[in-house]
Amino acid sequence: MKYRENLQTYRPDRYRIYGLMAGLILFFAMSGVVILPVMATDTGEEKLHSGPDVAIIDATARLDISDIGDIPLGTVVDERLILTITVKNVGNREAPGYKLKSFLVRVGREDEIGTQIGGDITDIRLGAGETRTYTRTAMIPSHLKKGQYRVMVVLDTSNYFIEPETDNNRLLSPDTLSPGSSMAPTGSIPVYSPVSIEEPGYYLLKRNIDGGNKVNIFEIKSSGVTFDGGGNTIRGVASGYATGIYINAGSAVRDIVIKNLVIEDVDAGIWMYKASNGKIENCIFRNMKNMGLRLDQSHQNDITGNTFEYNTMGIGVFESNSNIIYNNLFKNKHNAVVNENQKNKWNTNLKSGTNIIGGSQIGGNAWFDETGEGGFSTTAQDYTHDGISDAPYSLNPSNIDLYPLTISPGKSATTPEPAKAPEETESGIIQEEQEESNDMPVALENITESDLTHVIEPETLDIKPTELPEEIKSEPVQVAETATTSIQETPEITPEPTDEPTLEEISDDESSHAIISPYADISIKEITGPESGCPGSEYTLSAVIENTGGYDADMFQARFYLSEDRQIDSRDITLGEKTITNLQSGTEQTIDLIFSIPELIGLKNYYLVIIANTDNGVFEDKKSNNTGYSSTRMRIREC
């Protein structure tokens, strides 16, 4: 009974506990509706960001051969791929390690893993939030098919930790690559370094060239050469004689084409010596201390589509004729230097087409000042609004631009970019753009005097003669400055005189650059001999010849005379001739000649005379100093 009593006594307490527990369960169950989802959310967020998570955040790729040194002509180089990859650990724990693999994939087939390039990049211990960048150089596989590719970078952490399920472990570079672009297309010869070209062919420049202090960065010594710059730049250091491309085979060459090139910061961009039937097109000549382009004894060349800017002089034409110079942009301190007695053509027949300053007709050239905002082409009248001046632009009576280009007031001339390297076609042949025959410039021989005088009579031009310093003139020349011609608003349009400064009016600093020539300059320093002599006897004379120019005089002839006066003509007596060799720049040589006095010579007093370079074996800017006379005359007497 006692137990039952106790049981009866205990039972209420036990039920009370059960009730309390049931109440708590009910309370937590109801609270869980609110609390449990919040807990679940917090747990999910921590799971997403917990642990290491390495992401590829950037990848760039480019083909580059600029760091390779001198490369012999015609060498096929191994292309190099410069790859830069950046990764970041976006997780909240340190990544113990990872690998990066790189592949070339074809454009349009990026979902496929392509050819692996280079080895794996393996690294360890990338802290939470830490970023690392890797730069690697890899060789392009030689068996790779030509086409367009992109680089795919793949991250692999399987040997170190399990990556979260994200899409940041694979990235395509935005750059499109064309393996083989550093090579020359089939049928051409790649050029990677300064070189002397001595065989015909199609030469394609594949990278920018820094010629340093080289005198002639490139030389062309053969006919039938095409030098395609491919849009690249040749630079050098102006030393007084530095030339970007020097064309000189020692004898006449022909059919040389130079195009798609930028030349900067040398003394002369391109020098053509005894070169004919060639073409200079789509080139930029910039910051030349002397001239952008110079023609010497060079004939029937086409100079078209070029830009001459910020040079001391744009173009110089010396002892050269029948060249056609049109659709070029000039904006220099002095735009043109040209011999007065050499006839060249400065325009083509008018034809439709976009000209070099964006106009709708191709005719002559654009003549600006150095800023590109002033000069003849900005001030010339154009009543028909066709972009062609109503008046011609006269360099001198033999050199007149009949159709100079004009631009609207307030606008300035912009520099067009040179064309890039040609693409190789499926047949492997370089496709050259051929102009239709009816668009070809008319040969100068087809232009008659009446064609010129139809627009304006050269005799009516009041042109101010401008003398060049002796150092650069071979014959009387004029400077075609960025002049402004004032046109009267009357039906009869006649150019007024151009207000052009002479070279002597240029500052000493400018003219010191402008008069420098890279050619040889042979002069006679002294000639001496006996004071007297007898007919039929032998004597010795001595002459000192020097080369004050900037180029070696390899070989030339010197001829000796007896002259009653200081004028050489048919009445003077020839004593002999001698071959002079290897007269280097800045040196002199002493020449001795044993000669006989003719039996029938008159008993008079004669000067001893020497004339150097009688065979024109060495090109010179001037020849006025090639003749030397003895200071006293030799007396011929009976013995």
Q: Which domains does the chain have, with CATH numbers?
A: 54-172 (2.60.40.10), 270-460 (no CATH), 522-636 (2.60.40.10)
Predicted TM-score (pTM) of the model is 0.55
Q: Tokens representing 102?
A: 């790189």
15 vs 437, residue with greater confidence: 15
Rounded Cα distance, 574 and 597, in Å: 10
Q: Using alpha carbons, select from 351, 361, 367, 401 the residue that is nearest to residue 384.
A: 361
- Are 277 and 265 in contact, with CB atoms under 8 Å apart? no
Rounded Cα distance, 268 and 520, in Å: 15
Q: Is the pLDDT of residue 118 over 90?
A: no
- Are 160 and 96 in contact, with CB atoms under 8 Å apart? yes
Q: Which amino acid is at 430?
A: I
Q: Using alpha carbons, select from 386, 427, 430 the residue that is nearest to residue 405.
A: 386
Condensed to tens digits (0 to 9), the pLDDT of residues 317-365 reads 999 999 999 999 999 999 999 988 899 999 999 999 999 999 999 999 9
List, in sequence order, every residue forming a beta bridge with 171; answer none if it has no partner.
153
pLDDT value at residue 25: 58
Q: Which amino acid is at 477?
A: V
Rounded Cα distance, 236 and 214, in Å: 7
The beta-carbon contacts of 562-565 under 8 Å, at least 24 apart in sequence, are: 562/597, 562/601, 562/606, 562/607, 562/608, 562/609, 562/634, 563/606, 563/607, 563/609, 563/629, 564/604, 564/605, 564/606, 564/607, 565/607
Give every CB contact of residue 1 below 8 A, 6+ residues apart in sequence.
Answer: none
Q: Is the pLDDT of residue 375 over 90?
A: yes
Distance set, CA 322 to CA 341, 459, 569 (Å): 12, 21, 31
Segment 30-57 mean pLDDT: 54
Condensed to tens digits (0 to 9), the pLDDT of residues 234-282 reads 999 998 889 999 998 778 899 999 999 999 999 999 999 999 999 999 9
The number of beta carbons lying within 10 Å of the beta carbon of residue 319 is 17
pLDDT value at residue 521: 87
Condensed to tens digits (0 to 9), the pLDDT of residues 72-117 reads 777 767 677 889 999 999 988 899 999 999 888 888 887 777 788 8
